[in-house]
């Protein structure tokens, strides 16, 4: 290994003059097929063809109809129910027996008892809800429409519909402003006085009623009860129309505009939700206030400030995987043709769309992205469109740090703060333990008890896994004030396990009990077990980083020592008779009823964790590979995305790309590019985005691996603005499958080990001084 010294850096710095002009990252001129946008030649016929816009809190799906426009609306705090505590009062007493039965090998009996005594009341959590629709009817027939075009511009976060009828070209633009907190719509035409429309709001929520309030329209309602939990959320939407020219009339059925040159619609939506234990907000006052401050600002200003705020995040990363003529087709046609076409730019679009969706569904102050981000049109959404924290919520945030969107994790961090409160009660009452615990799901009310049924829900490691995202945020950003603020959450999650872990009488190792390997039934007629591999891997990570955090913060030395002592007593990952990684403490993998189970829980150690690594733990990496082969390549959307990440970690770019091709094809990607579980679930979009990043660069601690899984299908390309731990920025360009140039920049001085194939060099980064490495031998520039 070569060491690159300070003297060499100075030399590299001197050579920097030419770096920005290097062909790899020259700005691409905008041409058809190059724009970062989704586009179509027809209106959306169904919801999965409509285009999502959002500001983290407010979301809309834009259909782009020619006689009726529909904006399907969401607000991220409109969920069923109200504050509730689902801990089962019988759970604690029954748990001792459940544990005994599990250690005695009577797993099915343990599961039956747990189902009878331990599970949450109610057994389900609350569902995320749609607000309703903003509808715009325009006169004229769809039959006389020509030159139809509909698009979503990922850079300006603007959805646009354009068409011609009776010689007039109509344009409709939609943005959701993170600054003004309104949905803004502009209707315009190329002939004066041509805009006529009727505008109104509807809602599937109980008792929702529409009325005119002066010139505004107001829709007020409340949420529904569910599973005997009373609805406690009130909401209000307020809509104002500002026509230029023409006339505006409003009554309790809607607004009518005629003879206008242009109309701007502004829509504010608010609820009474103030927190998981407080629904005393005043939605009418909030919506009025939001609308008042946006009114009079004009669509152009709102849209340009929205674009500016969006681009401040979106423009941090730029990916180019090359373009072929396939990229000139409409997005739905590209998806349909993707399996047989050479269209590397489709992967680029998927990557850009993933970043777009994260920015639009998870902004500071909003709720975290749920199973559908913020976009849900059903009052009975799949899996309640809530937070499934045995993979799906974590996957939503897999791209955040590497694609330089750390702010987008703030809602997740805020949710973990809430869970540490509600989960402390669950820990105490259900387990008699300190700290806090969250099982496999949570909702707006931050419920933490086990739900659905023991075979899915009695998994105590959801909160622990979420806490890893607290650590990633620190590791990438190295802000010790931030670490101090989240350390108590990590310590609380650890404290629960210090109390709740059991000594396995067979092996003497510390194990979780009861637990399960997410949603997988083992050969003994149950999921419940002790010490599934995933739990051990997650706790090894959590105890390790929490002890490290305590050391960095110079606090809790004795506690950190307890964590280190417990960590080495956790049952290790093991290799089984098939050469596979054990999913459980026993070598059960060959006998499972569902060999292609979608979850890859025991491979957590390979990704997202790095406990298993080709260089550091080659035997375990080979076993993980075997397990991955046994599970197969094609699965549900998110599970396919996880597979692509895992193969990238095994540095098999061809395999990863093959899986990604399936993910981007019509079976797993809807025409609007939303991931298909099926049905729509946004995690696959985010997991796929991370997989693309992971194929190009992998980083852990102070180690950076360049182009670890570059497939032949992406022979030349570049990416700028990726992030690695230690506030490190990584820019890369490659040609004919070979590294052209890499540029590492950090404002923290320190060594980084850079790997490329079998080459590696240690470079010393100095604040703000880019370090350039050239070619397949990593020569300093």
Q: State in angstroms the smallest separation of the CB of 381 from ligand FUC.
A: 10
Give 272 or 455: the residue with its C-beta nearer to ligand FUC. Answer: 455
Give 277 or 633: the residue with its C-beta nearer to ligand FUC. Answer: 633
Does 537 help bind ligand FUC (rule: CB under 6 A)?
no
Give 33 or 453: the residue with its C-beta nearer to ligand FUC. Answer: 453
Structure tokens at 684: 């696959």
Give 383 or 586: the residue with its C-beta nearer to ligand FUC. Answer: 383
Sheet strand arrangement including 132-137: 51-54, 58-62, 68-75, 132-137, 195-202, 254-260, 247-251
Give 231 or 637: the residue with its C-beta nearer to ligand FUC. Answer: 637
Does 398 help bind ligand FUC (rule: CB under 6 A)?
no
Does 734 help bind ligand FUC (rule: CB under 6 A)?
no
d(Cα 532, Cα 526) in Å, to the nearest integer? Answer: 13
Give 638 or 714: the residue with its C-beta nearer to ligand FUC. Answer: 638
* 9-28 residues near ligand FUC, rule: CB under 6 A: none
Give 377 or 452: the residue with its C-beta nearer to ligand FUC. Answer: 452
How many residues touch ligand FUC (CB under 6 A)?
10
**Do the Cβ atoms of 711 and 654 come closer than 8 Å?**
yes
Does 636 help bind ligand FUC (rule: CB under 6 A)?
yes
Q: State in angstroms the smallest separation of the CB of 383 from ligand FUC.
A: 4
Give 681 or 689: the residue with its C-beta nearer to ligand FUC. Answer: 681
Q: How large is the greatest C-alpha to C-alpha distance in the chain, in angstroms?
A: 83
List, as one string, the DSSP characters of 392-428: HHHHHTTTTTTTT-GGGGHHHHHHHHHHHHHHHHHHH
Q: State in angstroms the smallest separation of the CB of 150 from ligand FUC.
A: 30
Question: HEC states along 467-491?
Answer: HHHHHHHHHHHCCHHHHHHHHHHHH
Does 516 help bind ligand FUC (rule: CB under 6 A)?
no
Residue 66 DSSP one-character state: S
Q: State in angstroms the smallest separation of the CB of 716 from ligand FUC.
A: 36
**For the window 644-683, what string marks contact with ligand FUC as x by the rule CB under 6 A?**
---------------------------------x---x--
**Closest alpha carbon to 560 in 542, 534, 572:** 542
Give 411 or 684: the residue with its C-beta nearer to ligand FUC. Answer: 684
Q: State in angstroms the smallest separation of the CB of 609 from ligand FUC.
A: 19
Does 385 help bind ligand FUC (rule: CB under 6 A)?
no
Residue 684 DSSP one-character state: H
Q: State in angstroms the smallest separation of the CB of 392 from ligand FUC.
A: 5
Q: State in angstroms the smallest separation of the CB of 637 from ligand FUC.
A: 8
Q: State in angstroms the smallest separation of the CB of 645 from ligand FUC.
A: 16
**Do the Cβ atoms of 681 and 389 come closer than 8 Å?**
no
Candidate residues 371, 682, 742, 771; the one interacting with ligand FUC per rule CB under 6 A: 371
Residue 435 DSSP one-character state: S
Rg, C-alpha atoms of the chain: 27
Q: State in angstroms the smallest separation of the CB of 601 from ligand FUC.
A: 10
d(Cα 697, Cα 755) in Å, to the nearest integer? Answer: 10
Give 392 or 685: the residue with its C-beta nearer to ligand FUC. Answer: 392
Instruction: Encode 691-700: b = buried (16+ Cβ within 10 Å), e = exposed.
Output: bbbbbbbbbe
Residue in this structure with the two tokens 């607004």, named with its chain if needed: 255
Give 262 or 394: the residue with its C-beta nearer to ligand FUC. Answer: 394
Q: Within its chain, how far is the Cα of 310 from the centroid?
A: 17
Q: State in angstroms the smallest separation of the CB of 412 from ligand FUC.
A: 17
Does 376 help bind ligand FUC (rule: CB under 6 A)?
no
**Closest alpha carbon to 44 in 146, 152, 141:** 152
Does 640 help bind ligand FUC (rule: CB under 6 A)?
no
Residue in this structure with the two tokens 């599973």, named with its chain if needed: 227
Give 181 or 396: the residue with its C-beta nearer to ligand FUC. Answer: 396
Strands 750-756 and 703-706: parallel
Does 392 help bind ligand FUC (rule: CB under 6 A)?
yes
d(Cα 199, Cα 255) in Å, to the nearest integer? Answer: 5
Does 79 help bind ligand FUC (rule: CB under 6 A)?
no
Give 419 or 739: the residue with its C-beta nearer to ligand FUC. Answer: 419
Q: State in angstroms the smallest separation of the CB of 680 from ligand FUC.
A: 11
Does 686 help bind ligand FUC (rule: CB under 6 A)?
no
**Closest alpha carbon to 88 in 114, 126, 127:** 114
List, as one string, the DSSP characters of 136-202: EE-SS-GGGEEEEEEEEETTTTEEEEEEEETTEEEEEEEEE-TTT-SEEEEEEESSTT-EEEEEEEE
List, as one string, the DSSP characters of 300-368: HHHHHHHHHHHHHHHTT-EEE----GGGGS-HHHHHHHGGGS--HHHHHHHHHHHHHHHHHH--TTSPP
Give 677 or 723: the residue with its C-beta nearer to ligand FUC. Answer: 677
Does 383 help bind ligand FUC (rule: CB under 6 A)?
yes
d(Cα 171, Cα 178) in Å, to the nearest integer? Answer: 23
> In the chain, what is the straight-line distance between the N-terminal and C-terminal CA atoms, in Å?
17
Does 396 help bind ligand FUC (rule: CB under 6 A)?
no
Does 519 help bind ligand FUC (rule: CB under 6 A)?
yes
The helix/strand/coil state of 696 is helix
Please tell me the number of Cα atoms within 13 Å of 676 on its side-chain side.
Answer: 18
Give 366 or 390: the residue with its C-beta nearer to ligand FUC. Answer: 390
Candidate residues 388, 546, 661, 746; the one interacting with ligand FUC per rule CB under 6 A: 388
**Do the Cβ atoms of 483 and 546 come closer than 8 Å?**
no
Candidate residues 598, 625, 631, 655; the one interacting with ligand FUC per rule CB under 6 A: 598
Task: State the DSSP H helix or E strand holding residue 388, giving kind and residue range, or none if neither.
Answer: strand 387-388
Q: State in angstroms the smallest separation of the CB of 106 from ligand FUC.
A: 26
Give 66 or 392: the residue with its C-beta nearer to ligand FUC. Answer: 392
Q: State in angstroms the smallest separation of the CB of 636 from ligand FUC.
A: 5
| Site for ligand FUC, rule CB under 6 A | 371, 383, 388, 392, 519, 598, 636, 638, 677, 681
């Amino acid at each position: 290994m070569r060491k690159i010294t300070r003297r060499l850096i100075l030399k590299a710095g001197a050579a920097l003059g030419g770096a920005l002009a290097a062909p790899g990252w020259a700005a691409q001129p905008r041409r058809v097929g190059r724009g970062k946008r989704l586009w179509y030649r027809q209106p959306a016929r169904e919801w999965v063809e409509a285009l999502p816009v959002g500001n983290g809190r407010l979301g809309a799906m834009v259909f782009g109809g020619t006689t009726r426009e529909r904006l399907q609306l969401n607000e991220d705090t409109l969920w069923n129910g109200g504050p509730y505590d689902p801990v089962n009062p019988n759970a604690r007493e029954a748990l001792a027996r459940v544990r005994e039965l599990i250690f005695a090998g009577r797993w099915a009996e343990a599961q039956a008892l747990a189902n009878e005594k331990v599970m949450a009341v109610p057994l389900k959590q609350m569902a995320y809800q749609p607000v309703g629709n903003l509808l715009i009817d325009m006169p004229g027939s769809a039959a006389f429409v020509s030159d139809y075009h509909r698009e979503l511009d990922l850079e300006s976060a603007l959805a646009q519909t354009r068409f011609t009828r009776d010689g007039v070209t109509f344009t409709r633009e939609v943005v959701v402003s993170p600054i003004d907190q309104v949905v803004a719509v502009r209707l315009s035409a190329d002939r004066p006085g041509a805009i006529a429309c009727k505008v109104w709001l509807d809602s599937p929520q109980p008792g929702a009623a529409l009325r005119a309030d002066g010139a505004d329209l107001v829709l007020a309602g409340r949420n529904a009860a569910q599973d005997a939990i009373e609805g406690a959320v009130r909401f209000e939407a307020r809509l104002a129309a500002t026509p230029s020219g023409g006339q505006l009339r409003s009554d309790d059925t809607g607004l009518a505009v005629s003879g206008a040159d242009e109309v701007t619609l502004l829509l504010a939506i608010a609820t009474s939700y103030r927190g998981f234990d407080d629904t005393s907000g005043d939605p009418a006052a909030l919506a009025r206030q939001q609308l008042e401050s946006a009114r009079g600002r004009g669509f152009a200003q709102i849209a340009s400030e929205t674009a500016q705020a969006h681009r401040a995040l979106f423009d941090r990363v730029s990916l180019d995987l090359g373009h072929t003529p396939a990229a000139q087709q409409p997005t739905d046609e590209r998806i349909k043709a993707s399996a047989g076409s050479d269209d590397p730019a489709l992967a680029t679009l998927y990557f850009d769309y993933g970043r777009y969706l994260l920015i639009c569904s998870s902004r500071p102050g909003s709720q975290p992205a749920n199973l559908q981000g913020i976009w849900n049109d059903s009052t009975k959404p799949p899996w309640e469109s809530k937070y499934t924290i045995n993979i799906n919520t974590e996957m939503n945030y897999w791209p955040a740090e590497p694609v330089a969107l750390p702010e987008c994790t703030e809602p997740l961090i805020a949710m973990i703060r809430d869970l540490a409160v509600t989960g402390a009660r669950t820990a105490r009452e259900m387990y008699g333990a300190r700290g806090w615990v969250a099982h496999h799901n949570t909702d707006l009310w931050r419920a933490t008890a086990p739900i659905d049924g023991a075979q899915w829900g009695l998994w105590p490691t959801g909160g622990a896994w979420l806490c890893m995202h607290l650590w990633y945020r620190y590791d990438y950003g190295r802000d010790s004030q931030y670490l101090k603020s989240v350390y108590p959450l990590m310590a609380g999650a650890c404290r629960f396990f210090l109390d709740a872990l059991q000594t396995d009488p067979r092996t003497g190792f510390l194990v979780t009990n009861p637990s399960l390997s997410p949603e997988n039934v083992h050969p003994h007629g149950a999921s419940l077990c002790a010490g599934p591999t995933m739990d051990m891997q997650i706790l090894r990570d959590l105890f390790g980083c929490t002890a490290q955090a305590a050391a960095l913060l110079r606090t809790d030395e004795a506690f950190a020592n307890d964590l280190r002592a417990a960590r080495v007593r956790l049952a290790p990952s093991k290799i089984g008779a098939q050469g596979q990684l054990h999913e459980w403490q026993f070598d059960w993998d060959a006998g499972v009823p569902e060999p292609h189970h979608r979850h890859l829980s025991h491979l957590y150690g390979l990704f997202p964790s790095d406990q298993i690594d080709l260089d550091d733990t080659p035997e375990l990496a080979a076993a993980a590979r075997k397990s991955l082969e046994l599970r197969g390549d094609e699965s549900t959307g998110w599970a396919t995305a996880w597979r692509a990440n895992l193969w990238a970690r095994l540095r098999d770019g061809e395999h990863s790309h093959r899986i990604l091709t399936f993910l981007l094809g019509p079976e797993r990607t809807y025409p609007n590019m939303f991931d298909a579980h099926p049905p729509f679930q946004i995690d696959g979009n985010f997991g796929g985005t991370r997989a693309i990043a992971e194929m190009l660069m992998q980083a852990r601690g102070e180690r950076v691996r360049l182009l670890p899984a570059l497939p032949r299908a992406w022979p030349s390309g570049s990416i700028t603005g990726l992030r690695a731990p230690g506030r490190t920025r990584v820019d890369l360009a490659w040609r004919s499958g070979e590294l052209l140039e890499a540029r590492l920049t950090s404002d923290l001085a320190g060594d980084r080990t850079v790997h490329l194939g079998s080459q590696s060099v240690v470079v010393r980064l100095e604040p703000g001084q880019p370090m350039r490495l050239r070619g397949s031998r990593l020569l300093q520039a």
